[in-house]
């Protein structure tokens, strides 16, 4: 199945010069969505991960489905101020701004193997901060996995030292 054909591109969104990759057109097609998650799972299931950690918001859709498919737990990395218990924070730069994510301090056990997953790899800032928080909490990042990778941006370079897995490349 050609997953790229299910991605809608929106020019100049959210700002001029950015070509937004809209995954809602893939998500609304049950067969394509299932195929994408099954393909991603087949690339990481051998890693023995015990949890999937994903950033808000589209990452929740991909990461939650991947965790379900793998039979692991799911750990949300939420926007600042959204978690009810003591949390670890990390700030990062997007290709068009700055943001902050938090993970509950008790969400990752020392030595726990996790897959950090998001919908899209661009500059690598989001996943770098999530992976760093996982490590700070004592976890081990088995891989970083994405539905889409923008190969013309330095995301893979920012994630040197991690096993980077992506299904669709632009």
How many domains does the structure of the chain reveal?
1
What pLDDT, on the 0 to 100 scale, is given for residue 24?
97
pTM: 0.93
* Domain that residue 146 falls in: 48-169
Residue 101 domain flag: yes
Angle CA(30)–CA(34)–CA(35) in degrees, nearest 5? 115
Kindly name the residue from 56, 58, 69, 113 that is annotated as catalytic: 58
Q: 100-158: per-residue pLDDT in tens?
A: 999 999 999 999 999 999 999 998 999 999 999 999 999 999 999 999 999 999 999 99
Query: Is residue 148 in some structural domain?
Result: yes
Q: Which pLDDT belongs to residue 96?
A: 62
Q: Is 19 part of a structural domain of the chain? A: no
9 is annotated as an active-site residue: no
Q: Do the domain assignments include residue 69?
A: yes
Catalytic residue (one of 45, 69, 95, 113): 95
Q: Is residue 32 part of a domain?
A: no
40-45 LR contacts (CB < 8 Å, sep 24+): 40/66, 40/117, 40/145, 40/147, 40/165, 40/167, 41/66, 41/69, 41/70, 43/145, 43/165, 43/167, 44/70, 44/115, 44/142, 44/143, 44/145, 44/165, 45/70
CA distance 129 to 31: 32
Per-residue confidence (pLDDT) for residue 168, from 0 to 100? 97
Q: Rounded to an integer, what distance in angstroms lies between the CA atom of residue 35 and that of residue 117?
A: 16
113 belongs to the catalytic site: no
Would 121 be classed as within a structural domain? yes
The pLDDT, as a whole number, for residue 92 is: 79
Assign residue 69 the CATH number of its domain.
Answer: 3.40.50.2020
Confidence at 50, pLDDT banded by 50, 70, 90: very high
Whether 9 maps to a domain, the answer reads: no
- Report yes or no on 37 lying in a domain: no
């Amino acid at each position: 199945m050609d997953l790229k054909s299910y991605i809608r591109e929106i020019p100049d969104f959210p700002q001029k010069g950015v070509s937004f990759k809209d995954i809602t057109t893939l998500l609304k097609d049950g067969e394509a969505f299932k195929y994408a998650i099954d393909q991603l799972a087949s690339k990481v299931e051998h890693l023995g991960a015990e949890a999937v950690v994903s950033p808000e918001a589209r990452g929740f859709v991909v990461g939650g489905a991947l965790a379900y498919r793998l039979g692991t737990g799911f750990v949300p990395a939420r926007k600042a101020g959204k978690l009810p218990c003591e949390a670890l924070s990390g700030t990062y730069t997007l290709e068009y701004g700055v943001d902050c994510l938090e993970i509950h301090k008790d969400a990752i056990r020392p030595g726990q193997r996790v897959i950090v997953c998001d919908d899209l790899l661009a500059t690598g800032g989001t996943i770098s901060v999530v992976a760093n928080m996982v490590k700070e909490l004592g976890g081990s990042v088995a891989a970083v996995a994405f539905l889409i990778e923008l190969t013309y941006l330095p995301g893979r370079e920012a994630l040197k030292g991690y096993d980077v897995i992506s299904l669709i490349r632009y």
